[in-house]
Amino acid sequence: MHIGVIGATGTIGSRVVTEALHRGHRVTAFSRDASAITDRRENLDWASVDVLDAASVAAVLPDLDVLISGFQPGNAARDFADTLRRSIADPTVYATAAQALLKALESRPRTRLIVIGGAGSLEIEPGVVRADHEELVHASLDELGLPREYAAAVLGHREALNVLRASNRLWTYFSPAEQIAPGERTGRFRIGGDQPVLDADGRSRISVEDAAVALVDEAELPRFVQRRFTVGY
Protein backbone atom coordinates (compact mmCIF):
# COMPACT_ATOMS: atom_id res chain seq x y z
CA MET A 1 0.00 0.00 0.00
CA HIS A 2 0.91 3.65 -0.28
CA ILE A 3 0.32 5.27 3.12
CA GLY A 4 0.57 8.97 3.84
CA VAL A 5 1.38 10.12 7.38
CA ILE A 6 0.74 13.69 8.50
CA GLY A 7 2.75 14.64 11.57
CA ALA A 8 5.40 12.11 10.63
CA THR A 9 8.03 13.62 12.93
CA GLY A 10 5.72 13.44 15.94
CA THR A 11 5.60 10.92 18.76
CA ILE A 12 2.95 8.66 17.22
CA GLY A 13 3.44 9.61 13.58
CA SER A 14 7.12 8.67 13.57
CA ARG A 15 6.26 5.22 14.93
CA VAL A 16 3.53 4.79 12.32
CA VAL A 17 6.09 5.54 9.59
CA THR A 18 8.50 2.95 11.01
CA GLU A 19 5.76 0.33 11.43
CA ALA A 20 4.45 0.81 7.89
CA LEU A 21 7.94 0.62 6.38
CA HIS A 22 8.68 -2.50 8.43
CA ARG A 23 5.67 -4.16 6.81
CA GLY A 24 6.84 -3.31 3.31
CA HIS A 25 4.52 -0.41 2.53
CA ARG A 26 5.46 2.70 0.62
CA VAL A 27 5.20 5.76 2.85
CA THR A 28 4.98 9.45 2.10
CA ALA A 29 5.72 11.30 5.31
CA PHE A 30 4.34 14.81 5.66
CA SER A 31 5.59 17.65 7.81
CA ARG A 32 5.02 21.40 7.88
CA ASP A 33 8.50 21.86 6.40
CA ALA A 34 10.16 18.72 5.08
CA SER A 35 13.03 20.52 3.38
CA ALA A 36 15.54 19.92 6.16
CA ILE A 37 14.66 16.31 6.96
CA THR A 38 17.46 13.86 6.20
CA ASP A 39 15.66 10.55 6.82
CA ARG A 40 16.19 8.63 3.59
CA ARG A 41 14.97 5.12 4.36
CA GLU A 42 13.96 2.87 1.50
CA ASN A 43 10.33 3.32 0.31
CA LEU A 44 10.08 6.60 2.24
CA ASP A 45 9.48 10.01 0.69
CA TRP A 46 9.06 13.32 2.50
CA ALA A 47 6.82 16.22 1.52
CA SER A 48 5.56 19.44 3.08
CA VAL A 49 1.85 19.95 3.71
CA ASP A 50 -0.37 22.40 5.58
CA VAL A 51 -3.08 20.28 7.18
CA LEU A 52 -5.24 23.36 7.78
CA ASP A 53 -5.32 24.10 4.03
CA ALA A 54 -7.60 21.76 2.08
CA ALA A 55 -5.91 22.62 -1.21
CA SER A 56 -2.48 21.76 0.22
CA VAL A 57 -3.76 18.37 1.40
CA ALA A 58 -5.63 17.67 -1.85
CA ALA A 59 -2.42 18.23 -3.81
CA VAL A 60 -0.67 15.34 -2.05
CA LEU A 61 -3.54 12.83 -2.14
CA PRO A 62 -3.01 11.30 -5.60
CA ASP A 63 -1.76 7.70 -5.38
CA LEU A 64 -2.36 7.44 -1.62
CA ASP A 65 -4.44 4.49 -0.43
CA VAL A 66 -4.69 5.74 3.15
CA LEU A 67 -3.87 9.05 4.82
CA ILE A 68 -3.14 8.88 8.55
CA SER A 69 -3.21 12.24 10.31
CA GLY A 70 -1.37 12.67 13.58
CA PHE A 71 -1.71 16.46 13.43
CA GLN A 72 -0.92 18.46 16.54
CA PRO A 73 -0.32 22.20 16.83
CA GLY A 74 3.43 22.30 17.23
CA ASN A 75 5.56 19.19 17.61
CA ALA A 76 4.94 17.47 20.94
CA ALA A 77 7.88 15.10 20.40
CA ARG A 78 10.27 18.06 20.35
CA ASP A 79 8.53 20.55 22.64
CA PHE A 80 5.59 19.13 24.57
CA ALA A 81 5.02 22.33 26.55
CA ASP A 82 4.70 24.34 23.34
CA THR A 83 2.10 21.94 21.98
CA LEU A 84 0.16 22.21 25.24
CA ARG A 85 0.19 26.00 25.01
CA ARG A 86 -0.93 25.99 21.39
CA SER A 87 -3.69 23.45 22.04
CA ILE A 88 -5.05 25.48 24.95
CA ALA A 89 -4.79 28.78 23.05
CA ASP A 90 -6.81 27.51 20.07
CA PRO A 91 -8.69 24.28 20.79
CA THR A 92 -10.74 24.73 17.60
CA VAL A 93 -7.71 23.80 15.51
CA TYR A 94 -8.52 20.08 15.64
CA ALA A 95 -11.96 20.58 14.11
CA THR A 96 -10.46 22.96 11.56
CA ALA A 97 -7.97 20.28 10.53
CA ALA A 98 -10.74 17.68 10.27
CA GLN A 99 -12.77 19.99 8.05
CA ALA A 100 -9.78 20.65 5.78
CA LEU A 101 -8.99 16.94 5.48
CA LEU A 102 -12.59 16.10 4.57
CA LYS A 103 -12.70 18.95 2.05
CA ALA A 104 -9.50 17.65 0.44
CA LEU A 105 -11.01 14.18 0.14
CA GLU A 106 -13.79 15.51 -2.06
CA SER A 107 -11.33 15.18 -4.94
CA ARG A 108 -10.27 11.66 -3.86
CA PRO A 109 -13.33 10.07 -2.23
CA ARG A 110 -11.87 6.56 -2.33
CA THR A 111 -8.84 7.53 -0.24
CA ARG A 112 -9.29 6.44 3.36
CA LEU A 113 -8.57 8.82 6.22
CA ILE A 114 -7.51 7.80 9.73
CA VAL A 115 -7.38 10.63 12.27
CA ILE A 116 -5.45 10.20 15.51
CA GLY A 117 -7.45 12.05 18.14
CA GLY A 118 -7.95 12.09 21.88
CA ALA A 119 -9.24 9.78 24.60
CA GLY A 120 -11.49 12.31 26.32
CA SER A 121 -14.42 11.60 24.01
CA LEU A 122 -14.54 7.92 24.99
CA GLU A 123 -17.57 6.78 26.99
CA ILE A 124 -16.66 5.93 30.57
CA GLU A 125 -20.01 4.13 30.70
CA PRO A 126 -22.69 3.75 28.02
CA GLY A 127 -23.80 7.21 26.94
CA VAL A 128 -21.53 9.05 29.42
CA VAL A 129 -18.59 10.86 27.83
CA ARG A 130 -15.81 12.14 30.08
CA ALA A 131 -15.45 15.32 28.01
CA ASP A 132 -19.01 16.32 28.96
CA HIS A 133 -18.20 16.46 32.68
CA GLU A 134 -15.68 19.07 33.78
CA GLU A 135 -14.90 17.39 37.10
CA LEU A 136 -14.13 14.09 35.37
CA VAL A 137 -11.90 15.78 32.80
CA HIS A 138 -10.04 17.64 35.54
CA ALA A 139 -9.53 14.46 37.55
CA SER A 140 -8.12 12.71 34.49
CA LEU A 141 -5.82 15.62 33.66
CA ASP A 142 -4.62 15.74 37.27
CA GLU A 143 -3.78 12.03 37.10
CA LEU A 144 -1.87 12.52 33.86
CA GLY A 145 -0.01 15.56 35.19
CA LEU A 146 -1.53 17.92 32.62
CA PRO A 147 -2.83 21.42 33.37
CA ARG A 148 -6.58 21.69 33.85
CA GLU A 149 -6.66 24.35 31.13
CA TYR A 150 -6.03 21.49 28.67
CA ALA A 151 -9.70 20.59 29.12
CA ALA A 152 -10.36 23.02 26.27
CA ALA A 153 -8.24 20.85 23.96
CA VAL A 154 -10.08 17.73 25.14
CA LEU A 155 -13.30 19.36 23.96
CA GLY A 156 -11.54 20.39 20.76
CA HIS A 157 -10.67 16.77 19.97
CA ARG A 158 -14.28 15.75 20.61
CA GLU A 159 -15.50 18.44 18.20
CA ALA A 160 -13.15 17.06 15.53
CA LEU A 161 -14.77 13.66 15.99
CA ASN A 162 -18.18 15.28 15.61
CA VAL A 163 -17.04 16.87 12.35
CA LEU A 164 -16.02 13.46 11.03
CA ARG A 165 -19.24 11.83 12.18
CA ALA A 166 -21.20 14.26 10.02
CA SER A 167 -19.25 13.21 6.92
CA ASN A 168 -19.84 10.40 4.42
CA ARG A 169 -16.13 10.11 3.58
CA LEU A 170 -14.14 6.96 4.38
CA TRP A 171 -12.92 8.20 7.75
CA THR A 172 -11.78 6.40 10.89
CA TYR A 173 -11.08 8.08 14.23
CA PHE A 174 -8.52 6.60 16.61
CA SER A 175 -8.73 7.38 20.32
CA PRO A 176 -5.55 6.21 22.03
CA ALA A 177 -5.61 4.93 25.58
CA GLU A 178 -5.61 7.60 28.27
CA GLN A 179 -2.05 6.69 29.25
CA ILE A 180 0.16 6.55 26.15
CA ALA A 181 3.93 6.87 26.11
CA PRO A 182 6.95 5.46 24.27
CA GLY A 183 7.61 1.88 25.29
CA GLU A 184 7.71 -1.63 23.91
CA ARG A 185 6.23 -2.93 20.68
CA THR A 186 4.47 -6.09 21.80
CA GLY A 187 1.80 -6.42 19.12
CA ARG A 188 -0.50 -7.72 21.88
CA PHE A 189 -3.39 -5.51 22.89
CA ARG A 190 -7.17 -5.40 22.82
CA ILE A 191 -9.37 -3.30 20.56
CA GLY A 192 -12.46 -1.37 21.60
CA GLY A 193 -14.98 0.98 20.09
CA ASP A 194 -16.46 3.91 22.00
CA GLN A 195 -15.40 2.74 25.49
CA PRO A 196 -11.81 2.59 26.75
CA VAL A 197 -10.06 -0.76 27.04
CA LEU A 198 -8.96 -1.27 30.65
CA ASP A 199 -6.28 -3.59 31.98
CA ALA A 200 -6.57 -5.77 35.10
CA ASP A 201 -5.82 -2.74 37.28
CA GLY A 202 -8.54 -0.64 35.64
CA ARG A 203 -6.07 1.48 33.67
CA SER A 204 -6.42 2.62 30.07
CA ARG A 205 -2.88 2.39 28.71
CA ILE A 206 -0.91 1.58 25.55
CA SER A 207 2.62 2.15 24.28
CA VAL A 208 3.12 4.50 21.35
CA GLU A 209 4.68 1.59 19.47
CA ASP A 210 1.62 -0.62 19.90
CA ALA A 211 -0.67 2.28 18.97
CA ALA A 212 1.27 2.43 15.71
CA VAL A 213 0.72 -1.31 15.21
CA ALA A 214 -3.02 -0.82 15.66
CA LEU A 215 -3.10 2.10 13.22
CA VAL A 216 -1.26 0.22 10.47
CA ASP A 217 -3.45 -2.83 11.15
CA GLU A 218 -6.49 -0.63 10.48
CA ALA A 219 -4.86 0.77 7.34
CA GLU A 220 -4.27 -2.74 6.02
CA LEU A 221 -7.58 -4.30 7.06
CA PRO A 222 -10.28 -1.66 7.63
CA ARG A 223 -12.68 -2.58 10.41
CA PHE A 224 -13.80 0.85 11.58
CA VAL A 225 -14.78 2.85 8.50
CA GLN A 226 -16.97 5.80 9.58
CA ARG A 227 -16.41 4.70 13.16
CA ARG A 228 -14.06 5.30 16.08
CA PHE A 229 -11.85 2.72 17.72
CA THR A 230 -9.44 2.53 20.61
CA VAL A 231 -6.88 0.10 22.00
CA GLY A 232 -5.44 -0.89 25.35
CA TYR A 233 -3.74 -3.70 27.22
Residue 124 three-state SS: strand
Q: What is the pTM of this model?
A: 0.93
> 3-class SS at 181?
strand
pLDDT tens for each residue of 28-57: 999 988 888 989 999 999 999 999 999 999
| 128: pLDDT strictly greater than 90 | no
54-66 per-position pLDDT tens digit: 999 999 999 899 9
The closest of 98, 9, 83 to 46, measured between CA atoms, is: 9
How far apart are alpha carbons 123 and 198 in whole angstroms? Answer: 12
